[in-house]
Amino acid sequence: MQTIEKLTPDDLKQIIKESIRETLSEKKLRSVFYEVIEEISLSKAIDEGMNSESIDQNAFLKKLNSRIQ
């Protein structure tokens, strides 16, 4: 194995990819990782919603239902 000084950017990229792949291969850790991403996304959506103008509830539900069907 090369010393860290001799690693190319591609070598480093490959090492990081393999490390992430190994880490996420454990189902429990993968599940936690996905939950963290979902929580971050939800938090961001809530923050954005707090800074936007309100809309009519009926208009929102109508739009939501049109996307579900």
Structure confidence at residue 9 (pLDDT): 87
The number of folded domains in the chain is: 1
- Give the pLDDT score at 11: 87
User: pLDDT tens digits, residue range 20-66?
Assistant: 888 777 777 778 888 899 999 999 988 888 888 888 899 889 988 99
pLDDT for the residue 33 = 82
Number of H helices and E strands in the chain, helices first, is 3, 0
Helix 27-50 vs helix 9-24: angle between axes, to the nearest 10 degrees?
100
Give residue 42's domain range.
4-68
What is residue 38's predicted lDDT score, i.e. its pLDDT?
93
Q: Residue 41: what pLDDT?
A: 92
d(CA 68, CA 34): 23
Give the pair of three-digit tokens for residue 37: 């991403």
Better-scored residue on pLDDT, 29 or 16: 16
